[in-house]
Structure 1
Amino acid sequence: MTVPPITDMAPMKLVIVGHVDHGKSTLIGRMLHDTGSLPDGKMEAVKAMSDRRGMPMEWAFVLDALQAERDQGITIDTTQIFFKTPARPYVIIDAPGHKEFLKNMVSGAASADAAILVVDAKEGVQEQTRRHGYILHLLGLDQVVVAVNKMDLVDHSQARFDEVAGEVHKYLGSMGITPAAILPVSARHGDGLAVKSTNMPWFEGETLIASLDTLPPKPMPVELPLRFPVQDVYKFDERRILAGRIESGKLNVGDTLLFSPSNARAKVQSIEAWSVDGPVLSASAGQSIGITLDDQLFVERGNVASHASEPPVQTNVFRARIFWLGRAPLEVGRRYKLKLATLEHPVEVQAIERVIDVSDLSERPADRIERNEVGEVVLRARAMLSVDEFTDNPRLGRFVLIDGYDMAGGGLVSMDGFHDLRRANAPTSQNITAVETRITTDARWAANGHKSGVLWLTGLSGAGKSTLALELEQALFRKGWQVYVLDGDNIRFGLSADLGFAPEDREENIRRVGEVAALFARAGILVITAFISPYRSDRDRARAVAPDLFHEVYVNAGLAVCEERDPKGLYKKARRGEIAEFTGISAPYEAPEAPEVEVETGSLSLAQSVEQLLGYVEANFATKGS
């Protein structure tokens, strides 16, 4: 391995990927030689090694530091190599091409600023080429230079180069990646690497080295919101020092920090840095520091410090695009350890929404994700997690899953269809005092002749919630009960007329309904609500308002049944893309895990469904003599 150059300029990190045997190691070895980056004696050692094996100069031996790699002729681990050009220094992360070693490729590409994708001119785009291209897309690497290698094996044909270049351009373009350059090279002979090739006068573009020198450096995420994951807490004398690495943003002494997920706040009293003379007043992304606070908060590893104005998302459920590398397939219900920054927490696979074929980017439904497949899943944790959407802040938007002791997959966070669960615990208005009624709930029940409560009907649109609620209301009213229906459409005309249908609006709508329903129930009325209420967290919050009075009713009809009924024509509009965030189509529905009662309206008649609910109501709400 070469010695890193002495320079004040930060090196650009490059990952080299490509199908096995497409010549990545040869390309890197020759590039190091042609830029004068090999240490003294290395070239002679490689030539002697090649001679002993009775083969021509093998540039791949520059990198193959492991005996096992030379014996097998494949790269099995990531290797970091330093080299420099007159323009700037580089760090090359040589990632393996063989599919058995994709874990190393993922970990190598995750830290890169740009990528070189190597494609064999004779073989063209192969399965691993597509898989590696997709991983680059998955990791958010959009600076890609494509080297069409081994042009000597196709007689330096311009037609063949154009054919391969077109195929690569089409595939990368389908993922939104525009290559910075696609160029022909012959790594073994040095054609097109550091100097233009006389064998390919038809190519008017730059050399590989010149193309790399034109790539803009990846800016440090200083301008992104502050994210300071706590790695450890140290106690020195009377001080408690929170240590970690600033992943994005910057902080100053005196800043007020918000710690997630506890929502505790404190000011930065000091910044502690190693091997620094004098006080440190500020720090920014990329720096490993310690901080002390003006308040002795309980903070632990995995907590994230941010500024209160721009906190991370707080959630216990999110979507993720997963590249699966585990020995056993990923399946619904399986639990894994999620590692995100310094956080480690168990998560459960709630749903597998689709598997993506990396060869043509087609999608298909599946109940499992096999090794080396890509899929979109929903993950759920029992505790609140602090995350960012990958598109907003990759530093807290990228994670890995651990199965046992092995890294089983890598993924990106998406909050599409879900909302931030961060909530202030205190009401916005401070000058208020709760007023207690003088009439007890028992007295109301005695006067009405029955108990009160909330029957919370949840289910997909078209499952029959409103129809069932209205029929139940009428049947109970005929019996003399104090009963009232709160229906989604009616609430939207009044109480929630100011809300749309984005996830945060849905959340606020259900919050309002939960509070109103609890007021009805405390007034002695049996209130029946009919709302899709797709998120478990929202229903749990509604239950928490009056837990002793809340009864969850799952009106269960499958998507196919509801879509066939489609009483309001909403599914047809959603399928045409006319309704965004429509539950069951473009937004998720989280079925209840343990409802008090489940009514199978997909198989039961309306009369049977009402009869089942009436039986439940009489068993749980009727008083003696009613």
Structure 2
Amino acid sequence: MSTPIQRQLLRLATAGSVDDGKSTLVGRLLHDCKAILADQIAHVKTVSEARGGDFDFALLTDGLRAEREQGITIDVAYRYFATDKRSFILADCPGHVQYTRNTVTGASTADVVIILVDARHGVLEQTRRHLAVVGLLRVPHVVLAVNKIDLVNYDEAVYTGIAKEVGQLADQLGIADLKTIPVSALVGDNIVERSENTPWYDGPALLEVLETATGRSDISGRALRFPVQYVIRPQTDDEYRDYRGYSGTVASGTVSVGDDVIVLPAGRRTTVSGIDRAVVTATATAVAERPNAVAGEAVTVRLADNIDVARGSVIVAAGSSPGTRRELSATVAWLSERPLTVGARLLIKHTTTTAQAIVTKITGVLDLDTLGVIDAAGLDLNDIGKVQLKIAAPLAADPYSSNTITGSFLLIDAHDGWTLAAGMIDDEEGELL
């Protein structure tokens, strides 16, 4: 019996302005990687011919009828594919400014974000906004795809000018790894293989970059953060009648039996006495004891002492406790059509905790032209701004720069449950933008 091939997983997302060719690029990438079934290719060919045009690669990704009718992508479309070297989860994000919230969603977990720019139009406001989002989200790798290079006759000067401008923006936004590639999604230039149409470009094709890019840094080596999602206390008379376990997913670090830990916000110190994980087979589900668990694993932790632990508690390493906060300085991407003003009362969702919050101050908004922070009395749809919050319950929070899970949060409308903003906690100096 052969052993299944284990390929390293890479999460990537695409972003760009409307009609920059994101869906066409993704369709071309999937097609040239032979990740599309023959019957789907035949269907797209039939639809394309019925419209009187050439093969429309965008139809390989735009599955919603509304998208096809409008000719735009209106939701994050996730695609899964693999090459001989690795597996991919791809989020094709919408380009219209109205759907910037979807770009935040798609880029938040990405290892690589591909930002497309139409070679004919150059850098637009939405390009700047997407660069700001990926910079704030600390996306490790950014690829600038200067698309439709064939429509400017493969002009090196056009490509160089766009690459230089975006490079300067990336420096301002703290984007450390930026690669630029001239591509034509429609023709296939520099997508899977290097193109002879751009002899002045000596860099890799897009697929080469994706197959060699590293993922986000290993969070297993960071300080332990274990948000408690559920307290398990079976109401039985058997061997589990005294069982008390705390279930959740290890957000960062490693937890081992015998570790000294602190439970926040109570601040009580104790020791890990056991770690359990469910083992599911075809016939039954059993509980297996584990010596340790690493970031990303869902387990149940048992503690040596019977202390107050509830959903929303966070178990942290005793030697690296973040403490708790009732006030936060943060950078938020405002995603609601209703403006944010000082005094607004909202809900904050941080790891497994949901608490009431009030906006005490709005300290500025990002100017997309200068990339500086300017004074603002409020935040409008798609603004990226700095705010100060007062929280009704103490949060075990880290700066986003040191832990993207315990350093991030959502702001939610308390009345209808709609997500209003994605937030990132600033460091001690109040800097994130």
Which position in structure 1 is the counterpart of 2:237? none
RMSD between aligned alpha carbons? 1.7
Which position in structure 2 is the counterpart of 1:281? 291
Letter in 1 for 2:96: H
Letter in 2 for 1:332: V
C-alpha distance after superposition, 1:513-558 (max 9, x if no partner):
xxxxxxxxxxxxxxxxxxxxxxxxxxxxxxxxxxxxxxxxxxxxxx
Instruction: Report deviation, 1:207.
Output: 0.6
Do structure 1's residue 409 and structure 2's residue 421 form an aligned pair? yes
In 2, Cα distance between equivalents of 1:218 and 1:134:
18
Contiguous gaps of at least 5 residues in structure 2? 235-240, 281-285
Q: Which has the higher contact order (CA 8 A, sep 6+)?
A: 2
In 2, Cα distance between equivalents of 1:75 and 1:47:
20
Which position in structure 1 is the counterpart of 2:378? 368
In 1, Cα distance between equivalents of 2:427 and 2:119:
40
Which position in structure 1 is the counterpart of 2:408? 398
Which position in structure 1 is the counterpart of 2:266? 262
Query: 1 or 2, which has the higher strand percentage?
Result: 2
Letter in 2 for 1:409: A
For the 8 Å contact 1:230–1:342, the answer to whether it is kept is yes
Letter in 2 for 1:412: M
For the 8 Å contact 2:170–2:178, the answer to whether it is kept is no
Which deviates further from its counterpart, 275-284 or 255-264?
275-284
- Would the alpha carbon gap of residues 19 and 227 (structure 1) be closer, same or farther in structure 2, given more than 3 Å must change? same
Do structure 1's residue 344 and structure 2's residue 354 form an aligned pair? yes
Instruction: Report deviation, 1:338.
Output: 0.8
Which position in structure 1 is the counterpart of 2:283? none
Which position in structure 2 is the counterpart of 1:240? 244
In 1, Cα distance between equivalents of 2:242 and 2:46:
62
Instruction: Report deviation, 1:392.
Output: 1.6
C-alpha distance after superposition, 1:437-481 (max 9, x if no partner):
xxxxxxxxxxxxxxxxxxxxxxxxxxxxxxxxxxxxxxxxxxxxx
Which position in structure 2 is the counterpart of 1:56? 54
C-alpha distance after superposition, 1:594-614 (max 9, x if no partner):
xxxxxxxxxxxxxxxxxxxxx
Which position in structure 2 is the counterpart of 1:76? 74
In the alignment of these two chains, the number of paired residues is 414
Which position in structure 2 is the counterpart of 1:172? 170
In 2, Cα distance between equivalents of 1:375 and 1:369:
7
In 2, Cα distance between equivalents of 1:319 and 1:377:
6
Letter in 1 for 2:92: D
Instruction: Report deviation, 1:395.
Output: 1.7
Do structure 1's residue 385 and structure 2's residue 395 form an aligned pair? yes
Question: What SS does the aligned partner of 1:54 have?
Answer: coil
In 2, Cα distance between equivalents of 1:182 and 1:417:
32
Which position in structure 1 is the counterpart of 2:256? 252
C-alpha distance after superposition, 1:344-366 (max 9, x if no partner):
11111111111111232122212
- 1:327 maps to which of 324, 337, 343: 337
For the 8 Å contact 2:229–2:352, the answer to whether it is kept is yes
Instruction: Report deviation, 1:415.
Output: 4.3
For the 8 Å contact 1:318–1:415, the answer to whether it is kept is no
Which position in structure 2 is the counterpart of 1:476? none
For the 8 Å contact 2:330–2:425, the answer to whether it is kept is yes
Instruction: Report deviation, 1:245.
Output: 0.5
Instruction: Report deviation, 1:179.
Output: 4.1
Instruction: Report deviation, 1:371.
Output: 1.2
In 1, Cα distance between equivalents of 2:428 and 2:326:
14
Which deviates further from its counterpart, 77-86 or 370-379?
77-86
In 2, Cα distance between equivalents of 1:314 and 1:32:
46
Instruction: Report deviation, 1:378.
Output: 0.9
- Normalising by the residue count of structure 2, what TM-score does the alignment of the two structures yield? 0.92
Identity %: 36
Structure with bigger gyration radius? 1
Letter in 1 for 2:395: L
Which position in structure 1 is the counterpart of 2:43? 45
Question: What SS does the aligned partner of 1:395 have?
Answer: coil
- Normalising by the residue count of structure 1, what TM-score does the alignment of the two structures yield? 0.64
For the 8 Å contact 1:114–1:144, the answer to whether it is kept is yes
In 2, Cα distance between equivalents of 1:280 and 1:192:
47
In 2, Cα distance between equivalents of 1:275 and 1:220:
25
Which deviates further from its counterpart, 21-30 or 166-175?
166-175
- 1:314 maps to which of 313, 324, 328: 324
In 2, Cα distance between equivalents of 1:145 and 1:216:
13
- 1:218 maps to which of 210, 216, 219: 216
Letter in 2 for 1:416: E
- Would the alpha carbon gap of residues 178 and 383 (structure 1) be closer, same or farther in structure 2, given more than 3 Å must change? closer
C-alpha distance after superposition, 1:415-453 (max 9, x if no partner):
4358xxxxxxxxxxxxxxxxxxxxxxxxxxxxxxxxxxx
Letter in 2 for 1:181: K
Contiguous gaps of at least 5 residues in structure 1? 1-5, 419-585, 587-626
